[in-house]
Amino acid sequence: MVSKSALLEEHIRNLQTCRLCPLMRSTPVSGGPVVSRVMLVGQAPGDKEPVLQRPFAWTAGKAMFKWFESQAGVSEEEFRKTVYMAAVCRCFPGKNANGGDRVPDKDEIERCGRWLQKEIITLSPELIIAVGKLAIARFLGELPPLIDLVGKIFPVEKFGRKFDLVPLPHPSGASPWPRIEPGKTLTMQGLALIRDHPAWQHRT
Ligand code: SF4
């Protein structure tokens, strides 16, 4: 039987050849073939991640890894080694007219979903951490406000797999939500749910 590790390695080789979205402004970014019970799903890389060749490589990542270090006792290095890092879209979408990152469109999200589907089927994760509204919506559909999502855990069945979903806000400096109340407390509650989840204790 082919190991999960070999399946993931092949999957990532295939992902890196994907050029399906003509508006995307980079090649795909991957966190590597980490066999884990925990998966993190972000939104889409920024302009620095394709250069540095890893997800959450810049300011949003610094903020997010600080959360995990302070609340879940894991360094960035350890996190990258023990959590499979995926995203709603794997390529940098480019900038919008205001200079912010363009939000991927519905077709791009659908198209890129094939990679996420394969990863969920291959890994059968027990816990998925969805970071940001776009990622949360991938699992929960139409969304209530973040205040009703963050700090909670949701049982989800998708692609024939059952897992717990913990939503987190996007750590980008563009949104003050995680830094002001009640977002600050809810974010800490979400991180505590991750820390105490049985899959987190035995990720690999
Ligand atoms: S965003 Fe996803 S589907 Fe689109 S080109 Fe990149 S990897 Fe392929």
Identify which of 117, 120, 128, 125 has the alpha carbon closest to the alpha carbon of residue 165.
128
- Residues 25/93, Cβ–Cβ less than 8 Å: yes
Mutate to test the pocket of ligand 1, among 11, 18, 19 (most ligand atoms within 8 A of CB): 18
| Tens of pLDDT, residues 164-201 | 999 999 998 788 999 999 999 999 999 999 999 999 99
Which ligand 1 atom sits closest to the C-alpha of 44?
1
What's the order of all strands across the beta sheet hosting 127-131?
Answer: 84-87, 38-42, 127-131, 161-168, 154-158
Which ligand 1 atom sits closest to the C-alpha of 19?
5
Cα 47 to Cα 39: distance, rounded to the nearest angstrom: 23
pTM for the whole thing? Answer: 0.97
CATH number, domain containing residue 32 = 3.40.470.10
Q: How far is the CA of 194 from the centre of ligand 1 (A)?
A: 29
Domain count, the chain: 1
Per-residue pLDDT of the chain (204 residues; tens, 9 = 90+): 899 999 999 999 999 999 999 999 999 999 999 999 999 999 999 999 999 999 999 999 999 999 999 999 999 999 999 999 999 999 999 999 988 899 999 999 999 999 999 999 999 999 999 999 999 999 999 889 999 999 999 999 999 999 999 999 999 878 899 999 999 999 999 999 999 999 999 999
Strand locations in 32-181, DSSP E? 38-42, 84-87, 127-131, 154-158, 161-168
Return the half-sphere exposure (C-beta side, CA atoms, 13 A cut-off) of residue 85: 26
**Enclosing domain of residue 139:** 4-201
